[in-house]
């Protein structure tokens, strides 16, 4: 009886180890962890470059918006939009 239970426990442990080995072969969690760490380091090292690009895009869009507002104000017939230029037709 003791021998049978011991064999059963050993068989269960062997099955568990086989399942674990197959899981590591199929999923390879160590490789995914190392890839995520490398990606995190790359992101951390390129943060300043990304920030500069975002600031450049923001300044570019701000400049485009100011140009559009200026063109709208110049072509508008409302004097309060023109600032110092008054509408000559009035």
Question: What percent of the chain clears pLDDT 90, i.e. is strictly above it?
Answer: 64
| Residue 50 near residue 42 (C-beta atoms within 8 A) | no
In angstroms, the CA 14 to CA 2 distance is: 18
* Dihedral, CA of residue 61, residue 67, residue 70 and residue 74, to nearest 10: -140
Lowest mean pLDDT among 28-32, 34-38, 63-67, 78-82: 78-82
State the pLDDT at residue 29: 87
- Which of residues 18 and 69 earns the better pLDDT score? 18
Q: Residue 2 in contact with residue 8, Cβ under 8 Å?
A: no
Give CA–CA dist 35/29, Å, rounded.
10
| pLDDT for 5 beyond 60 | yes
pTM of the model: 0.48
d(CA 66, CA 70): 6
């Amino acid at each position: 009886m003791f021998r049978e239970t011991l064999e059963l426990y050993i068989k269960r442990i062997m099955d568990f180890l086989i399942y674990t080995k197959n899981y590591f072969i199929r999923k390879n969690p160590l490789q995914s962890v190392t890839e995520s760490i490398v990606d995190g380091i790359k992101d951390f090292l390129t943060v300043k470059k990304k920030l500069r690009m975002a600031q450049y895009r923001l300044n570019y869009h701000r400049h485009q918006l100011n140009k559009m507002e200026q063109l709208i104000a110049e072509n508008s017939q409302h004097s309060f939009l023109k600032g110092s230029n008054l509408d000559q037709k009035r």
